[in-house]
A and B are shown apart, each in its own frame.
Chain A
Amino acid sequence: MTAVTATSAPTDLPEVAPLVITATGVVSAAGFGAGPLRDVLAGTSAPHDEPVDPDAAEHPARSVRTVARFDRAALLGRKGTRNLDRLTQLGLLAADQAIAGLPGGLGGARLDRTGVVVGTTAGSIATATDVGRDTIVHEKPYMVNPATFPNTVMNACSGQIAIRHGLLGVNAAVSGGALSWLLAVRYARTALSSGRADRLLVGAVEEVTARTAWAWHLTGLLAPDAPLGEGAAFFVVAPAGGGTPVAELLGCEVGYFGGAGPGLYGGLRRTIAAAVARSGLTAADIDVVVPGATAHTRLARMERRALGTELGVLPPTLDVLPAVGEAYSASGALQLAALLATGGGNRVALLTSVGEDGGAGAMVVRC
């Protein structure tokens, strides 16, 4: 919880216990895995930029970063996958990859103490609107597809990941708009530090369809040339000592600043300061920043200004937008996946997320 007292200290809460990431999986417009993402970020290969949804011809005039079509049966198997929506499929693919990256896979630890946390703002809008359309175009309005209907719940992806891998522990969906990833990390930290799980698969998912593209387009919130993105990234997260770390998750602070209080700019500054302080670090320790709001006309400048003000001098910036697009619920997870894909070197990174709905947050990562 963010400290929001009027004192000069950024927070009166103690330093957080670092969490370790022991494996990662990412599916994005760059392709499957960290390697292709690194190449696209480096400019040595191009992201996939064609719509792939059934209404591909109906997209607005806006560029996209989409996951190229894939062979579901080949990658996920035939059993039990035919009725899965694309959002869940993307999540399963990234989760599979993360699990495959664990030395020894999921063995060696209790599956009833292994859980799943998935960031998603509204589940699959494609599925929700498919079912909604069924209720108005059929002669009998209740003739929705009974195999599709269970996918309308927003925890469909987290439930399917658990089913696929037999994960009996805490299983949660987390809805947070642009902050979905940061909120998922906070949920995971709380569950792990409260002793409710030993290990969690934590990720976030997003899809691009003509329906979501028009929705974004008509709001006018995004820069005209900002591509919409989709994808999924998952990370196996445990308390320190729970495996060989790929990276460490340090301070992660969020708040709501759309109403009372310091306003969005002031609130973002607070969360940055508190996240750094709760990492036991100072602004001078930050080697790289990964901003999340770069597609947003109003928010992008504000985010940059808040980072510059809090950090003094703005360190090198990793802008993931050209590679993965504005991926909304998955944006923070893809920011982290991009950071990790660009290599280690014991850097300390600051990731920020800002929502049009008044949420702001920041997370510190050592990688």
Chain B
Amino acid sequence: MHERRRVAVTGLGTVSCVGIGIDAFTSAIREGRVGSSEITSFDTTGFPATLACEVRGFEPRDVLERVEPDHWGPSAVFAAAAGRLAVQDGGLDPASLADRRAGTVMGTTCGEAPVIQQLTDQWVADGLKNIDADLVTKVPANRIATAVNHELGLTGPAQTVPSACSASNFALGYAYDLIVSGEADLMVAGGADAVNRSTHAGFLQLGALATDVCRPFDVDRSGILTGEGGVALLLEPYDVAQARGARIYAELLGYGANCDARHMVNPDADSIAACIRLAQASAGVAPEQVDYVCAHGTGTPTNDATEVAAMRQVFPDRLPPISSIKSMIGHTMGAASGFGAAICCKALEEGFLPPTANLRTLDPALGAGVDPVPGVARAATPSVVQNHGFAFGGNNAITMFGRAS
């Protein structure tokens, strides 16, 4: 068997509501820019909340070389574009990819929900026998990862991990294990989701949707804004990346994954604390070494309180700074922890802490010592950062990143 290998992040690709490409995304996050706008992807008539974080001004054909956008669902297109951007960013020769032991793992929550909604509309209006068969072929969620392989010419496994809102961290973790074990030499991992009517309605019905602004850790926080996009990280064995002179953003140090096994929707502090410990053990990191936490930070009253309570179990003396980029890009569902991972890598490379936007009054009920990095990014030199992802179904996954050595 191969020796245990280290994993380098050498490329980042983002299609987000605050910018296409990792540079545009990073500068927007550093500025604390909020990407919400009136929803255009579906008719919001009758909805009391009509804001979401939709990707605007994105022309897939400007990025994609092989995937024909008309033949794939929107999440697959986001994923393929993010994958292409990550490979370009990583400076890999695209022609070399087919010969690699290379594949894709992508997370998602909603899969191709907008396509399912279109089919549902057709069914209700015209009957089942008149639904569009071309739309049917776009439904399978596995096509999200497949689209990345198709775009990049990869012939290894294309695996979608639909583990809801921690799915990107599951994807990154799985890709990490495949590289560490020697099963893969190159992996594209991340996530994709698209704003859709059912998810918007569902979070509204659960009382978890903000009507105007997402304010994680604020005393007046009222919930999420739904978001969308695609994110991909290019992962390689560390020594291979060094040998080819690649820019190494960060090292993926390890990850933890577990399950609450209590409730489908309510988060569980003990279980999250256990997941943090698993992640830190996997990474070989002690709590006092963690310089920053990229929060799940949805901005619902329950999540943020539970997340901070879990943190206190692991960091009893000192909470590291913890911020939520969902305040800017909304809850991008299965892509959320992938965007978190991307900004963690940039934070390690450039030396900053990502901010929490929209914060007016820190919720005193969260207790003392919470530093949410309010407003704009803060200059810092983090060495080890921790990236949270929690999900319906009680699926927790946390990735750990370290500064490139």
Contacts and interface: CB of A to CB of B under 8 A. Distances in A.
B117 A132 contact: yes
Interface of A: 1-6, 13-14, 55, 58, 60, 111-112, 115-116, 120-123, 125, 128-129, 131-137, 139-146, 149-156, 158-160, 162-163, 165-177, 179-180, 183, 186-187, 190-191, 193-194, 196, 210-211, 214-216, 218-220, 254-262, 267, 355-359
A40 to B, nearest CB: 28
Contacts of B160: 174-176
Given A171-B259, A261-B98, A154 B136 contact: no
B140 A168 contact: no
B128 interface: yes
A55 B170 CA distance: 36
B26 interface: no
Given A122-B162, A155-B395, A259-B149, 9 more contacts: A122-B111, A125-B139, A129-B119, A141-B201, A160-B264, A172-B161, A174-B160, A220-B133, A357-B140
Interface of B: 1, 45-48, 66, 98-103, 108-113, 116-117, 119-121, 123-124, 128-129, 131, 133, 136-137, 139-144, 146, 149-150, 153-164, 170, 174, 177-178, 180-185, 197-202, 204-206, 257-265, 271, 274, 391-395
Given A141-B46, A149-B206, A173-B163, A187 B174 contact: yes
Contacts of A183: 157, 159
B154 A153 contact: no
Contacts of B154: 256, 260
A355 B46 CA distance: 41
A258 B150 contact: yes
B258 A170 contact: yes
A121 B140 contact: yes
Contact of B131 (A166, A175, A218): A218
Given A2-B155, A112-B274, A256 B261 contact: no
Quick one: which of A153, A196, A356, A358 has the most chain B CB within 10 A? A153
B263 to A, nearest CB: 7
B184 A163 contact: no
B181 A194 contact: yes
B136 A218 contact: yes
Nearest to B127: A58
B124 A141 contact: no
A190 B177 CA distance: 7
B157 A149 contact: no
Contacts of B206: 146, 149
List the 4 shortest-distance A-B pairs measured between CB atoms, nearest first.
A159-B393, A260-B153, A154-B162, A171-B259
A115 B155 CA distance: 29
Contacts of B46: 139-142
21 contacts: A4-B156, A14-B1, A133-B124, A141-B45, A141-B201, A142-B204, A151-B264, A153-B393, A155-B392, A163-B263, A168-B258, A170-B258, A171-B394, A174-B162, A175-B144, A179-B142, A194-B181, A215-B136, A218-B136, A219-B133, A220-B133
A136 B121 contact: yes
Contacts of B162: 120, 122-123, 153-155, 173-175
A43 B265 CA distance: 45
B393 A255 contact: no
B128 A211 contact: yes
Given A3-B101, A175-B142, A256-B103, A141 B197 contact: yes
Nearest to A187: B174
A153 to B, nearest CB: 4
Contact of A129 (B116, B204, B264): B116
Nearest to B102: A1
A149 B116 contact: no
Contacts of B274: 112, 168
B111 A190 contact: no
Question: Which residue of B140, B154, B180, B263 has the most chain A CB atoms within 10 A of its CB atom?
Answer: B140
A196 B391 CA distance: 19
A254 B105 CA distance: 13
A166 B271 CA distance: 12
Chain A residues touching B, majority SS: mixed
B200 A142 contact: yes
B115 to A, nearest CB: 10
A262 to B, nearest CB: 8
A96 to B, nearest CB: 15
Contacts of A145: 205
Contacts of B155: 2, 4, 255-257, 259-262, 267
Contacts of A257: 155
A203 B137 CA distance: 24
A159 B141 contact: no
Nearest to A129: B120
A162 B394 contact: yes
Contacts of A216: 136
Nearest to A140: B46
Contacts of A163: 261-264, 394
Contacts of B139: 122, 125, 215
A256 B177 CA distance: 20
A180 B199 CA distance: 25
Contact of A1 (B101, B150, B170): B101
B84 to A, nearest CB: 13
B259 A115 contact: yes
* Interface core residue of B109, B177, B178 (most chain A CB under 10 Å): B177
A171 B164 contact: no
A66 B257 CA distance: 35
Nearest to B136: A215
A2 B257 contact: no
Given A153-B392, A255-B157, A1 B184 contact: yes
A218 B177 CA distance: 40
B337 to A, nearest CB: 14
B231 to A, nearest CB: 18
B224 to A, nearest CB: 14
Nearest to B42: A135
Contact of A214 (B124, B129, B150, B198): B129
Given A132-B116, A167-B259, A219-B137, A358 B101 contact: no
